[in-house]
Amino acid sequence: MSRVMDILLCRWLRPHHYILLMIFCLLTAFITAYGISVSSDHVNALFPYISEAGTTVPESCIFGIFLNLGAVLAFICMYIRHENFANFATNHKLLLLNDISLLIGFFSTLGLCIVANFQEKSILSVHMVGATMTFAGGVVYCWIQAYLTYHSRSNGLNSDATLHARILIAFFVSLFFTMVFVGSSVANLKWKDASLTGKAKIHWNDSEPGYGWHLISTFSEWLMAFSFIIFFITFYQEFRNIRVKVDLLTLYNFDSPGDRAGSPGAQYLA
């Protein structure tokens, strides 16, 4: 059985495949939810917020499933990047920063799961906490990885082109992140019924105050989401050069006390 899993995880499913699977899940969540919600007149056709497109049944079901899968796959990619950098780095400060980036990545993907499972129409406050964790954590993660990329060129782990791409993407992610929250804040201030706290406004029309700022915010969110995806694509070539080997280590054989007593204390299952 372990041999079968070794083949499945390492021969057929290689590190760069996780990037492709993550992209597939996220795009499926975004595009399917948007298509169903627009066709059902649950949101405006002119780009709503991504999570607004996935807040009503039945699109919320598809949105939640694939967004959760995308979050898990994104963290797997972050973990692979973390381990690969750790194999090359010797500077303790860089290793610590690498650990911090993985922790931030974990909270960012956890926020994505919160967004997937707490829709705007159900618990808005929790949804907004998850969105902030995802976007803010994602911005910080991108900049840390760009910095680590700068220091990993000398050992051949990354190229100058990869460094420049990650810096550029991190800049645009930061810009779009700022525009999302500025646009949303100004739109809600201009909206006459913004005093209705605790309720998300889903449908907007061009005659309402703040509509233009609302569009700036929603377009920026979509651009930011795709920028995050493109940032992970920059890991693709690096991941193609990685091979993973699965070893299962059994410390004790609990089903056979006699064997355990005579064993050296551990054995590898291949």
pLDDT digits (tens, 9 = 90+) for 132-157: 999 999 999 999 999 999 998 877 78
Q: What is the pTM of this model?
A: 0.84
Question: pLDDT class for 129, splitting at 50, 70, 90?
Answer: very high
Q: Per-residue pLDDT averaged across 20-42, rounded?
A: 91
Least confident of 85-89, 98-102, 231-235: 85-89
pLDDT of 212: 82
Crossing angle (nearest 10°) for helices 59-88 and 15-39: 160
Give dist(CA 32, CA 30) in Å, integer: 6
Give dist(CA 232, CA 143) in Å, integer: 13
Which SS3 state, helix, strand or coil, does residue 153 take? coil
Task: Tell me how crowded residue 254 is: count the other CB atoms within 10 A of its CB.
Answer: 8
Cβ atoms of 228 and 248 within 8 Å: the answer is no
List, in sequence order, the alpha helices (H) in 118-210.
124-151, 160-190
**Which residues, 6+ apart, have CB-to-CB distance to 122 below 8 Å?**
55
Q: Which of 166, 177, 176 is nearest to 144 (CA)?
A: 166
Pairing label, strands 248-250, 267-269: antiparallel
pLDDT of 253: 58
Among 36-45, 214-223, 224-233, 246-255, top mean pLDDT goes to: 224-233
Cα atoms found within 13 Å of the Cα of residue 47, Cβ hemisphere only? 16
pLDDT of 198: 46
51-80 residue pLDDT tens = 888 878 888 899 999 999 999 999 999 999
Q: Which of 212, 200, 177, 178 is nearest to 46 (CA)?
A: 212
Which SS3 state, helix, strand or coil, does residue 157 take? coil
Residue 109 domain boundaries: 2-269
Give dist(CA 216, CA 264) in Å, integer: 65
- Is residue 227 predicted with pLDDT exceeding 50? yes
Give dist(CA 256, CA 235) in Å, integer: 45
- Is residue 210 predicted with pLDDT exceeding 80? no
Least confident of 28-32, 49-53, 70-74, 121-125: 121-125
Q: Which of 47, 71, 82 is nearest to 180 (CA)?
A: 47
Total domain count for the chain? 1
b (16+ CB within 10 A) / e for 200-224: ebbebeeebebbebbbbbbbbbbbb
pLDDT of 268: 43
- Reported in sequence order, the residue ranges of the chain that DSSP labels E, i.e. its strands, are 248-250, 267-269
Give dist(CA 99, CA 8) in Å, integer: 28
